[in-house]
Amino acid sequence: MIAALAGMLLVGILALPEAREALERVMAAHMLVQIPLLAAAGALIASGVPPGWRTRIEAWNRGGVSGMVLALIASAWWMVPRALDQALASPAMELTKFVTLPLLVGAPVALSWSHVGAVGRGFVIANVLPMWAVVGWLYVVAPVRVCNFYLVEQQVSAGAALLAASVALAAGVGVLAFRPYRTPPIHR
């Protein structure tokens, strides 16, 4: 319950005009700090879902499939450059961002990930990380400015940060995936 309250508090803090101004002024902070924190807040909020509700959700979310599909589609929208521009230009789209990232990205992942099997987890990670890397690389090398509200230098640094984050995460996941472990003895 405390985690859920902390999640709501986090959304509240991120929604403060000062926090929004500070994080949205820089494209890299908008994409790599504010958006992930909103999703993380949703994951915290999901920990407050009562057991009865969890059972009902799981009846429609075997293997975490529905939740992961929902999170992947909702997060795809927030990777579209036009969405970032719209969030800055229109209060309705900004509100949409503050609702959808916690509830349609962070919360479904938190409610689904523990049900996703090892192969499914590997599949998601192995698709998401290269996608981030490619998006980051495109932002660095794109000959055009993709956001009307961000300078081209900001686009390059956001791309570089996204690329760096995906490489760092891939390295971390790689270490976990390939860490040595004792093979259980085979009994004949």
Q: In the complex with other proteins, which residue's Cβ is closer, 20 or 145?
A: 145
- Does 101 engage in binding with other proteins (CB under 8 A)? no
Contact 44, 9 (CB under 8 A): no
In the three-class reduction of DSSP (H, G, I as helix; E, B as strand; rest coil), residue 36 is classed as helix
**What's the angle, vertex CA 82, arms to CA 24 and CA 66, rounded to 5?**
95
CB of 82 to other proteins, least distance (A): 5
Map the footprint of other proteins across residues 9-28, applying CB under 8 A. Answer: none
- Does 66 engage in binding with other proteins (CB under 8 A)? yes
CB of 176 to other proteins, least distance (A): 27
Report how far residue 64's alpha carbon sits from residue 112's, in angstroms, rounded to the nearest whole number.
Answer: 4
In the three-class reduction of DSSP (H, G, I as helix; E, B as strand; rest coil), residue 27 is classed as helix
- Binding residues (CB under 8 A) for other proteins: these are 58-63, 65-66, 69-70, 73-74, 76-77, 80-83, 85-86, 89, 144-149, 151-152
